[in-house]
Every structure is written in C-alpha cells, then in structure tokens.
Structure 1
Amino acid sequence: MHTKKLSTLLLICAGSFWLKATAGTVDTALTHSAAMNKDMKAVVIKPADYSAAKKYPVMYLLHGFSGNYSDWIKKIPAIAKLADTYHMLIVCPDGNFAGWYFDSPMNKEWMYETYVANELVSYIDKHYATIANRKGRAITGLSMGGHGAFFLAFKHQDVFGAAGSMSGVVDIRQFADSYGIEQVLGKYSEHPDVWEQHCVVSLIHLIKPNALALTFDCGYDDAMYSGNQELHEKLIERKIPHDYTVRPGGHTWEYWGNSVNYQALFFSRYFNNQK
C-alpha cells in the first residue's frame, strides 16, 4: 500500500516537473515608438527550448477592442504551451483600447500600423533570436485584432508571410458608429474614402498571388459572421487561396481560446514549409 502511494506520488511529481520544464517563458518587453513618442509594452512568450543559438519564427497575436497587450496571456494562459509545441515566439503587442492598428490620418498620436509592422518587428528581431524575414513571421488576432492582422499583412507583405483572423471586424463600415473607429478615421459620413482605404474587404486587390498564407474563422452566432462570409466570397472571386472555417460560437473568449489552436497549427505548417 505504501509502495503504491509512493509510486503515485513520484509520478505526480515527475508530471509536475515535466509541465514546468516545458512551460514557455513569458516576458513583458518595454519598447519605444518613435512614431508616437511613447513607450509601449508587449508580451513576449519564448518556447521552453529557446536558445540564442537558434532562430525562431514569430506569431504576432493582436488583442481586440477595449483590450491591451496582456489580454491574451491573462485570458488564455495556455497560449504559452503553443510556443512550446510549435517552437515559436508569440508576441502580443498593444494596439490601444481602440487603436485599430491604423496610422490615423486624424491624430498622429495613433500610429499603430507603423508601431506594429515596423517598430515592434524591428525591436523583436533585434532583441530575440528570430527568423528575421517574412518567411518567419505570421500575424493574427481577434475582433479588432483580426481586422488589424489582415490590414497589416495586406499592406506589408514584405514583412509578414502569413496572416489570420478570428472573428475579425473585416468590414469596419458595418460598425461606423461603434467601437471608437471614428476616433481614428473620422466620421464615416464625412470621410467615406478614408474608411474605404482602411477596410480589409476593400484591400484584397493588394494581395499578390500566393504571397500570403491566409486563414480566418468566425462563429455562426457572431455579429461579424456576415462580413467574414463576404470576405471569403471575394477571395474566391479573385482566386486567392485561403483557409476559411465557420464554427458554432459567438464573440467570446471561449471561442477564441479554441480558435487560436488551429491558427497556431496553420502557421506552424507554413513556417515548416519555408525551410
């Protein structure tokens, strides 16, 4: 009886040690945005096997409206395991509570396109052991971050090789009076051309054939479903390869906590195909 209990205890201890040994390291990096003249924080998750002697791909993971850089790791701490499983860095930038990952034409204090696509990427490549080219970079996010990921990837195909979106607000015109977008772009009724230039479904023409590996998904019960369906159909019309998935669920962390697993797998396969 005692031997059996001891064996069980040893197994539990061994299991606990293994979990700790394979846990990714979560850092909070303090970066500086010259474009906005302020310091910014970003979560950086390193895999357990991280070594300066290796080079790792990076998945940039964007938060949604009213969130910040710490949302993902606080709400879904299991993303640290994805860094271990796929031997990648995961970087969670700060896009402000309603920055929309745009360079605002109305307010130069909102330059989140420049910050994420240029300043933060340069910082990560300088301070971590990364594959410092588009073949080693993917970007995705939820809701506002889903729009931001596609917006940034479409406009910066020299920076990102793969992009995803989870419940993305891919047609911002559907929410002209919501989510603080007019703070960044001005009123839709007064600046429809500006909104058009910042709307994912209107930027498909920028995608070069086979330049981006694309994946996106949305829940049946999500208010973003119609916009994502429209994006899917437009990509088909233009014969742009992509993965599109619709699952049961709404605009919830439960949905995104599930979705991010599939996105990480998609990006891992992309990274492995670049070797």
Structure 2
Amino acid sequence: MKKYIFLIACLLFAVSFARAAKVDTVETYSDAMHKKIKAVVITPADYEQGKQFPVVYLLHGAGGNYKQFYELNHAIADWADYYHLMIVCADGGVTSWYWDSPVDPNFKYETYVSKELVSYIDKNYKTIKNKTGRAISGLSMGGQGAFYLAIRHQDVYGAVGSMSGGVDIRPFPNNWDMAKRLGTYAENPDNWEKNTVTNMLYLIKPNSLAITFDCGTDDFFYRVNCILHDKMVERNIPHDFTSRPGAHTSQYWANSVLYHLMFFNTYFKKHTPKA
C-alpha cells in the first residue's frame, strides 16, 4: 500500500511540474554598443492572467552566452512556473565581465544589462517595475558581474547572487581577457582595484540588497569567495554564503541556480505586494 501511495505522490508532483512556462529568445538593441543582442526570456504559465511579475536576471560565464543557463538546467523553466516569476538570461559577450570598459568603447555591458535590457523587459512585459521586483545572479564571470552591477545599481536591483563568482579579479591578471577590458594590471592598477567586488563593499547601503552567494570547495575561485564572506562579516553586511563540495563545473551550477531561485522567491514574497 505504501508503494502505491508513493507512486501516486510522485505522479502528482510530476504533474504539478509539467512544464507550462514559455521559453522565448528575444532580440534587443543596445544604443550604447550599436548592435543587436539576444536574450532568453522565460515567462510562467499564469503570465497571461494579468498580474505583474518579478524578474530574475541571470548572467553567464566567460565563454558562454545567453543560452547557457537554460542549457545547463531546463528545470529553471519549471521553477519560474512554480514561483510565478520571470527569468531573463542576458548575453554579456564572451568576456565582457559586464563592465563598461574604460579602455575599449565597444564593451559597455554595464549600461546594456542594467539600463537597456531592464528597460526593454519592463517595456515589453508585465513586470514589477521597481527594485523589489528585480534580482540578479550569475556564474563565474557572471557572478562577478551580478555583484558588480547590483552594487553599482542599488536603485535597480533588490537582491543579488553569485555562483562560483570571480569576486576578486586581481589574482588573475592574465586570464579571461580582463586585461583587454581594463588595461594591464601593471599599467592600470586603479582600474583593477576599483572594479573588483571585494573592494566595493563600502558602497552597499544598509538593507539595500538581499545577498546570497556560494562556491564549491574545489573551485579555483573558492578562496576569493571565502575572503568576500569574511569581509562582509567584518562590515556586518547581512548575507547568505554557502560552501559545499564541488568545482567550477556545469553540474555545480545546474544545482546552484535552483537555490538562488528559491532565495529570490523568498525575497520577492517578502518585499512585493500580494496579487
């Protein structure tokens, strides 16, 4: 009898998660960079019912693109449905690091993601058009980007997350084209110092951002994430930090993103008006 009850429970769970969310690819235009840029937009099954929805923006890692998160884990569409929220997977170029580059005017991804893309989504979708209805997270380069953008645009985002994020870029001066975006560390140290997340914590206003981040213990970014956690503790900045087994891998991020969606859902429920 218990076996049949378990099977029925599993069936009901599966039915409740039958994918009804809509997954689209949209083409936006960046005035700042004079080019078209694609994004994945996921809307929940009840989108057409007329309410306004919170939005989670997800930023891919170096070498990835706007499709990375959905390809990592199609279940993010199920969770968009379950939590009644939208997910927007932005494109940040192969190695933009989501900065407005001080040395290359062709890279203005801070402007694109935090202004142009957010404006496009708010204009074309039924969104909650204030910071309490927006969260941003990302993996690796995108984790750094999410923190960087959220700290610099606390009027735009209310919650932020990072998965295996490159939250201190200074130990890696020769990696991932960062020198092309900031100039070399030897010749442009100020660009590196002011654009690394661990040096930006003083900009976080009290109670301005809900923060979560995590990193696997076998990740090459693990140490800088632990240092970021320690610095937040020193500054009494409320946050969730999770350290768990894992490396800089797709398997780790496919699991991690689900925890971030859960964290953001809790934030949205607390800070946005009920329908």
Does the pair score TM above 0.5? yes
Which letter maps to 1:139? I
Tell me the percent identity. Answer: 55
User: Per-residue deviation at 1:16?
Assistant: 8.2
User: Whole-Å Cα distance in 2 between the matches of residues 159 and 66 of structure 1?
Assistant: 26
> Is the aligned partner of 1:132 residue 2:132?
no
Equivalences, count: 264
Deviates more, 1:141-150 or 1:71-80: 71-80
Q: Which runs of 5 or more residues in structure 2 are unaligned? A: 1-6
Query: Normalising to structure 2: TM-score of the pair?
Result: 0.93
Stretches of 4+ aligned residues off by more than 2 angstroms? 14-20
Give the number of the structure whose alpha-carbon radius of gyration is greater.
Answer: 1
**In the alignment, which residue of structure 1 is the partner of 2:181?**
184
C-alpha distance after superposition, 1:136-183 (max 9, x if no partner): 000000000000000000000000000000000000111110011111
* Partner of residue 247, structure 2: 250
Structure 2 partner of 1:203: 200
How big is the shift at 1:52?
Answer: 5.9
- Give me the CA root mean square deviation: 1.7
Tell me which residue corresponds to 2:42.
45
CA distance in 2, matches of 1:175, 1:18: 45
Tell me, yes or no, if the aligned pair for 1:169 and 1:224 is still in contact at 8 Å. yes
Contact 1:161–1:211 under 8 Å retained in 2: yes
Q: Does 1:155 align with 2:159?
A: no
Counting only pairs closer than 5 Å after superposition, residues 89-128 of structure 1 correspond to structure 2 as 89-128=86-125
Structure 2 residue 80 is the aligned partner of structure 1 residue 83: yes
Please give the per-residue CA displacement for 1:29-54, whole angstroms capped at 9, x wherever unaligned.
11000000001000000111112611
| Conserved? CA contact 1:221–1:248, under 8 Å | yes
Question: Within 2, Cα distance between the matches of 1:215 and 1:15?
Answer: 28
Cα distance between partner residues in 2 of 1:173 and 1:266:
29
Residue 4 of structure 2 is matched in structure 1 by none
Structure 1, 158-167 or 72-81: larger mean CA deviation: 72-81
Tell me, in whole angstroms, the C-alpha distance in 1 between the residues paired with 2:177 and 2:157.
Answer: 27
Counterpart Cα distance in 2 of 1:130 and 1:99 = 27
**Superimposed CA distance per residue, residues 237-265 of structure 1 (whole angstroms, 9 cap, x where no aligned partner):** 11100000001000011111111111111
1:121 is matched by which residue type in structure 2? V
Please give the secondary structure, in 1, of the residue aligned with 2:47: coil
| Offset from partner CA, 1:196-237 (integer Å, 9 cap, x none) | 111000100100011100000000000001000010011111
Which consecutive residues of structure 1, in runs of 5 or more, have no partner in the other structure? 1-7
8 Å contact 1:221–1:250 — kept in the other structure?
yes
Question: What residue number does 1:5 align with?
Answer: none
TM-score, normalised to structure 1's length? 0.93
Q: Partner residue of 2:227?
A: 230
